[in-house]
Amino acid sequence: MLDGLKARGAQSGQAIIAFSETAGPGLKTQQAINLATRDATASFDLLNEADPNNFQSALDTANDKLREMQDEAEPARQRLLELDAEIAAESGDAARVDQLKLELDRTTDLAEA
């Protein structure tokens, strides 16, 4: 987009020089104003093409993908909690078992909500 603006500005400058070499003073001024107006309008058209909604759409897509990845990872996380609780139970760590089961219940409740 920025390259397009630079190119249009360079073309505008060249056109103004060409007109100034061939036209009378009053005509030169009017033509220069017309060219500048046309190029300013074209520049604003380019800026309008860089619509912020496009950026918002890309952001929404990325957020949706992130939520999808989190949803896919949650069952694995819960399974790890279950396995950790089994290991803690086999090693006789009742406090750790209670802590892991509480966390598992909490994450299950959150997933269902």
The model's pLDDT over 57-105, given as tens digits with 9 standing for 90+, comes to 888 889 999 888 888 888 888 888 889 999 999 999 999 999 988 988 8
Residue 38, pLDDT above cutoff 80: no
Q: Which one-letter amino acid corresponds to residue 94?
A: A
Q: Which helix (H) or strand (E) holds 7?
A: helix 2-22
**90 alpha-carbon distance from chain centroid:** 48
Predicted pLDDT at 92: 94
pLDDT tens-digit series, residues 25-34: 555 566 667 6
Between 113 and 37, the higher pLDDT residue: 37
Distance CA 82, CA 77 (A): 9
For 43-80, b/e burial (b = at least 16 CB within 10 A) is eeeeeeeeeeeeeeeeeeeeeeeeeeeeeeeeeeeeee
